[in-house]
Structure 1
């Protein structure tokens, strides 16, 4: 578990499915995500079981409420650990995403010895870009990513953070 000033970052539990469904089924939250909106809480509960087994996606908890998720996964192409995150729209514009990203970076550096991080975001998603910029990420290259079905393509910025 990772504790920040206001948040707890911990492994997901199956009982988090209802909270997670709130944002993972929200088209506005999902607007720039590479995966489609969730439409079934039981299917999400099954996916949470996979996250628990893989141990690479974590719940962002405020008080007793799961308000988002954050992941830290090895990215072979960029030879760095990729960070991804998502926050329930009801909690936007409160600094929670920045706090969670800083928290997982600090934990990864201090506990795992990780020094290289990468992330990406849609050019049209300025809020996500500001989160990463506040955390020290700098642009590395531009490119594209798409939703799983390939029908929606996003112009993207790929960013990197190296900790000495």
Structure 2
């Protein structure tokens, strides 16, 4: 898979991306909001990249793709489609801290949604984040997600205030 936008390329992982995945995962927002996606060592990142690459040939997911800056090829984060609950799918994304505030997450998510909905044969994709993750909520709303709920719910094994939204294929 390869998606190109004005500034970005979304493509498949390659084994040589482990260092960038490690570095991108270490920022404080990632630790706070998705601690299970922090890779403390390059070896941890390498194992994750190998696992994610192995998922491309199946239908179960997760389907995770690096987000690269078109001009430089620099890996700045990822976007993913993940099995959620009861046959539903959820979008996930992370842009490394030094690249945030430039619209990269919104650009990647907007481009990724219709392509992945078609590939998975689905018409709805959910967005779920902690209620206090204002940046992620902003990206979801900017990309056409409609609020479903904001209430205490299970988030990575803990009861926390959770924001849920849904994107519907036009």
TM over 0.5: yes
| Runs of 5+ consecutive residues of structure 2 not aligned to the other structure | 57-62
> Are 1:131 and 2:132 counterparts?
no
Please report the TM-score for the alignment, with normalisation by the length of structure 1: 0.88
What is the distance in 2 between the residues matched to 1:49 and 1:111? Answer: 21
Retained in 2: the 8 A contact 1:119–1:158?
A: yes
Q: Match of 1:114?
A: 122
Retained in 2: the 8 A contact 1:137–1:161?
A: yes
Please report the TM-score for the alignment, with normalisation by the length of structure 2: 0.85
After superposition, the Cα gap between the structure-2 partners of 1:17 and 1:36, relative to the gap in structure 1 and judged at 3 Å, is closer
Q: How many residues align?
A: 160
What is the distance in 1 between the residues matched to 2:119 and 2:91? Answer: 16
What is the distance in 1 between the residues matched to 2:64 and 2:155? Answer: 20
> Are 1:64 and 2:70 counterparts?
no
Computed over aligned residues only, the root mean square deviation of the Cα atoms, in angstroms, reads: 1.9
Q: Match of 2:40?
A: 39
| Runs of 5+ consecutive residues of structure 1 not aligned to the other structure | none
- Map residues 3-152 of structure 1 onto 2, 5 A cutoff: 3-35=4-36, 37-55=38-56, 56-62=63-69, 63-77=72-86, 79-109=87-117, 113-142=121-150, 143-147=152-156, 150=157
Retained in 2: the 8 A contact 1:34–1:145?
A: no
Q: Match of 1:157?
A: 163
